[in-house]
Amino acid sequence: MSTLDLHGKISASQIAFYTPIAAFTIALVWRYAFRRDAGWLFLFIFSAARVSEAALILAGELVQRPHADLLIGAYVLQAAALAPLLLSTIGFLGMAGQSTYSEISRVSLIFRLTGLVTLAGLALSIAGGILGTHVSPDKGNIGVILRRASVGVFVAVYVILFLAHLGCWTYHFQMRSYRLRLLGGATFALPFLGVRVAYAVLAAWSASDLFGKSLSSNPDLARFNPINGQWVTYLAMSVVMEFIVVALYALFSTVLSRRYSR
């Protein structure tokens, strides 16, 4: 029977972490009937994506002759799932600003447009991950361009969110304490999310293919490849950063959910 390597063990830890998060967030979404609680919805989607990615990696390692589609699906999710994490940030910023800045049409428009841009980045990431595989083997160069373009979109979205959250704090005198806590949670989470986005940039330039076989000639860049690079770097800058961001969102949004239940 096949044994798990380090990536497989990391995947097992992701399943253990994200499964209860997914159950918790979908329960909140169901309880409040999708009532402007998009942060929880996208946090559920992100958690479900990470569980799916990890399950595919485990299947690829435990099956004696795994189908290539298992790993393709896992590696596409590894990059593309950053989009729902960014969307959850938009959702929680919007939740924190209910009855204050979120009611301003200009702010609401910024959040909506940023969400649409994030979805565009998601589409680019998925398309870029598929092109160059057996699905379309002669379009590998286009796949690389699309994957790197998607990362550029995610960077732009992160910068917009960081600047927007600074603007959100200018309304803190008008905000209730429990909404300030949620905004504070986003403030604590954004630096860790920034590290994750930075890793996505480095990973996109670490190799010219989805499977990490054609690593960059620059060894400093090659070590950031999530598949064949240094696993410690991947664990610290990607997996752990996501754990922290999700834990902070879940923790601080629970305070808000308790306020709703009163």
How confident is the model at residue 262, as a pLDDT? 46
Q: Which of 160, 161, 144 is nearest to 92 (CA)?
A: 161
Task: Yes or no: say if 44 and 29 are a contact pair by the CB < 8 Å rule.
Answer: yes
- Does residue 207 sit in helix, strand or coil? strand
Q: List the one residue out of 210, 231, 166 whose CA is nearest residue 6.
A: 231
Model pTM? 0.93
Report the amino acid identity of residue 166: L
- Residue segments in the chain with a per-residue pLDDT below the cut of 70: 1-2, 33-37, 255-262
Per-residue pLDDT, 254:
81
**How much is the pLDDT for 261?**
46
Q: Which two tokens stand for residue 173?
A: 């005198």
Q: Give per-residue pLDDT as tens, 56-109.
A: 999 888 887 777 888 899 999 999 999 999 999 999 999 888 889 988 999 999
